[in-house]
Structure 1
Amino acid sequence: MSAVLPYWRLSGFYFFYFSLLGATAPFLALYFDHLGFSPARIGELVAIPMLMRCVAPNLWGWLGDYSGQRLLIVRLGALCTLACFAGIFISHSYAWLALIMAAHAFFWHAVLPQFEVITLAHLREQAARYSQIRLWGSIGFIVAVVGLGELFDRLSLDAYPWALVLIMAGIVIASAWVPNAQPQFRPSSAGEGGFLRQLGRPGILAFYASVGLMQLSNGPYYTFLSLHLESLGYSRGLIGQLWALGVLAEIVLFMLMARILSRYSLRRVLLASFLITALRWLLLGNLADHLPVLLLAQVMHAATFGAFHAAAIHFVQRSFGDRQQGQGQALYAALAGVGGALGALYSGYSWSSLGPAWTFAIASLVALAAAAITFSRVPEERP
C-alpha cells in the first residue's frame, strides 16, 4: 500500500469526470431540442455514446490488463475525448453530431473503468473508503447541474458546447495530476482460471444481466427527465437543482456505504436498489407535477444510483482476480452502456407515441425484472 493515500488527487479526478456527466445527463437532450431535433432523433443521439460503452470499455480494459499502462490509457483517453468533442463547433447536422457523439464517447468510456482499478489499487485493504473518494464525483455533478442550470436560465443553450469543453479540459488536467498505482497481484488460486472461467461462476452472469436491465430502466430518466419537467412548467434553474438534490442524497449514501456494506450483503443492497428504482420511475411518470412527490423521487436517487453503483463496484472487485480486474470493470461499463443505449432508444420512440407515464412504467417493469434475477440467481454472500 502507498505510504500516503493521494486522496485529493483521486477525488479531484472524480470531481471533473462526473461534472461532465452532470453537464450531459440533464442538458444534452435540452441542447438537441434547442437545435430543433425531434424526440426520436434526440433519443438516437443520446444513445450513441451509450452504445460506444458496448465496445470501448472492453477493448481498453483488455489493453489495460495486458499492458498494465492504465494511467496512460486514462490520460490519452481524456485528451482524445476533448479533441474529438471540439469538432462540435464545425457543424450541427444530424450526421456530424452522431459522429461527434460516437468519437468522443469511444475515448471517454476508456477512462473510468481503468481509473476505478487505479483507485482501488491505491486503496488496497482500505477498499471500504472507495465511497469517500467517489462522493467527490457526486459533488462535481451537483456543481455542474446547479451552475449550468442557472447559466442556461440567463444565457442561450448556444453556450452549452463551450461549457463541456471547459469541463473536459479539467479532466485532462486532473488525469495528469494523479499518481500511478498497480493492483498487487497475488498468485492465482488453482481453481481461479482466466476471465471467462471466472465469469462463469454462480451468480456472476446474473449480476451482469441485472446491470444491463438497471441501466435500460434509467433510459427515460437520463434522456427525457429535463424535457419532461420543463413541459410541466419547471424552470431550467429549478430542474438543475432537482438533479442536484438527487445527487446530494447520493453523497449522503456514499458517506454511509461502508457501514451499510458491513451490515448487509451486496445481494441485499442490489435488490433493494432495484425495488426502489421501480417505485421511483412510477412516481416520475405519473406524479412529477406534484413538487413534494418529485422531491421524494429525487431523494430516491441515493438508492437507484448510489447504492447500486457502490455495491456493483465492490461486487466486481470481489468476483475477479487481480489480473482480470480491468476486464471485469470494463464489462460492467459495457453492459451498462448496452442497457443505457437501449433505454434511450426505446424512450425516444415511446415518448411521442405512448407518453411519459407509459414510458416510465416500462422502465419500472424492467427494474422489477432486474430485482427478480438478483433474487433468484445471485447467491447470498457477505462482501
Structure 2
Amino acid sequence: MNQRTGTALRLSFYYAALFTAVGAHMPFWPLWLKDKGLGPTDIGLIMAATYLTKIMVSPSVGHLVDRHGDRRKPMLILAGAATAIWLLFTLTDGFWPILAVTVLAVGLWSGIFPLGESLSMMESQRQRLDYGRLRLWGSLSFIASAIATGALMTSQPPPVLVWVVAAALALTTLSCWSLPASTAISARSDRRTPIWPLLKHPAFLAFLAVASLGSASHTVYYAFATIHWQAAGIDGNTIGLLWAEGVIAEVLLFAFSGWVVGKLGPGKLLIIATAAGILRWLALGSVTAVPALAIAQLLHAATFGCAHLGAMHFITRAVPHSLSARAQGMLSAVAMGAAPGLMSPLAGRLYDGMGGGAFLVMSALSVAGFALALLLAKRWDGKPLV
C-alpha cells in the first residue's frame, strides 16, 4: 500500500467514525432531552449551548495548532476526553446539570472538527486526493448510524442513546490515533502570520456571513424536525430514513465533488446552497406528508453539501496554509457556533409558538444568505485574499 492510499484510508476511517457519532446524536438527541422533561424552549437553549461552545473552543484550538503544527495529537486528546465526559450524561438530570455536561462534552467534541478539516484539505492538496470522496465516508456513516439509531429508538427507551453516542466517540478516538504521523503538518516558519488582515477583508466577512446564515437556517431542522415529524404521526424508522435520504443525496454530490467544484467553484456552490435553502424550508414548513418530505430532503445535497464544499474550497483557495487552522476555527466558531447558537433559543420559541411554521422563518434567512452569496461571487476573483 503506497502512502497516498494509506492516507486516504485513514482519513476515510476518521470521517466514518466521527459521523457515526453525529448520525446517532443529531437527529435523536432532542428526544433524549424531551425524555428528561425539558420543553421546547429548554431544548432550544441546550442546542444553543452545543453551538456557542464552539465560539471559544474552535479559534483557541486553531491558534494553538497553527503555532505548533501537529494536528493528530490534539485530535486524539479531544476525542478521548469527549468520550469520558459524555458518559456523565448517564448520571445527569435537570436543566442546569445537563447544560453543564453539554458545554464540557460538546466543547471537546467540537474542537476535533476544524482540525480534521484543516488536516484533510492540506493532505488533499499535498497528495492530490479528492476531498469529497474522503468526506463521503462520513456521510455514509451518518446514514447508517441514523437508520440504526432510529430502529433502536423504536424498541429501546431514550436513555440508551447516551451509550450509543459514547461508543461512537470511542471509535472516533481510535480513528484519530490511527492517523499516521506523516499527516501531522510541521510548524512553519511563518506560523506567526497575523490573521487580522484576513478577518478585515470584505470578501472573507461576506463568506462568514453566507456560511453563518446557511448554518443558522438549519437550526429548526436539527432541533425540531424529528419532534415535528413524530407529532405528525411519522414512526421512528421512517424518520431515520428521511434523515438518511438527505445524506444519501449529499453522498452522491460528494462522489462527484471533483467535477462539481471544477465546474462551479466555491462561489457558485454557495449561491446554489442558499437558493436551495429557500425552497427546502418553505416545503418543510408547509407539509408533513412523507412523499413531499422525501422530495424536500433531496435538497440537503445543496443546503448542506454544496455549502460545505463551497466553504472548504473557499478556505483552501482564499487562505494561506499558515492561517488554515485558524480560518477553519473561525468558520467553526462563527458559522457553526455563534450563528446557530444565537438562533437556537429563538428556534425553540418559534417552534413553541408556530410549530412547523418556524421553518418559514428559516427560509427568510436563506433569502438573506442568497443575496450575500451573489455579492461574494461578484467581488471575489478566486485568488488568495492575503
Q: Do they superpose with TM above 0.5?
A: yes
Partner of 1:280: 280
Partner of 2:306: 307
Tell me the matched-pair count.
Answer: 378
Deviations 1:197-243 (A, max 9, x none): 12333411100011111111111000000001001110011100110
Task: Using the TM superposition, name which of 159-168 and 5-14 deviates more.
Answer: 5-14
Kindly indicate whether residue 213 of structure 2 is the aligned counterpart of residue 226 of structure 1.
Answer: no
Q: Distance in 1 between matches of 2:20 and 2:301?
A: 18
Partner of 1:371: 370
Give the superposition deviation at 1:120.
2.4
Partner of 2:166: 165
Give the superposition deviation at 1:308.
0.7
Give the superposition deviation at 1:182.
4.1
Could you tell me the TM-score, scaled by structure 2's length?
0.93
For 1:68-217, what aligned pairs fall within 5 Å after superposition?
68-125=69-126, 129-180=130-181, 181-183=183-185, 194-217=194-217
Gaps of 5+ in 1: none
- Matched to 1:325, the amino acid is S
Gaps of 5+ in 2: none
Q: Distance in 2 between matches of 1:128 and 1:232?
A: 44
For 1:51-66, what aligned pairs fall within 5 Å after superposition?
51-66=52-67
Identity of aligned residues (%): 26
CA separation of 1:121 and 1:2: change in aligned 2, threshold 3 A:
farther
Partner of 2:23: 22
Deviations 1:291-342 (A, max 9, x none): 2210111111000111110110111121111111000011111112111212
1:234 counterpart SS class: coil
Partner of 2:68: 67
1:265 counterpart SS class: helix
Q: Distance in 2 between matches of 1:312 and 1:213?
A: 13
CA contact (8 A) 1:117 1:183 kept: no
CA separation of 1:126 and 1:298: change in aligned 2, threshold 3 A:
farther
Taking only aligned residues, the RMSD between alpha carbons, in angstroms, comes to 1.9
Partner of 1:265: 265
Task: Using the TM superposition, name which of 198-207 and 27-36 deviates more.
Answer: 198-207
Partner of 2:328: 329
- Matched to 1:201, the amino acid is H
CA contact (8 A) 2:70 2:186 kept: no
- Matched to 1:263, the amino acid is K
Could you tell me the TM-score, scaled by structure 1's length?
0.94
CA separation of 1:318 and 1:185: change in aligned 2, threshold 3 A:
farther
- Matched to 2:300, the amino acid is H
CA contact (8 A) 2:34 2:43 kept: yes
Deviations 1:43-92 (A, max 9, x none): 11111111111111000000111111211110000011111111112221
2:37 counterpart SS class: coil
1:172 counterpart SS class: helix
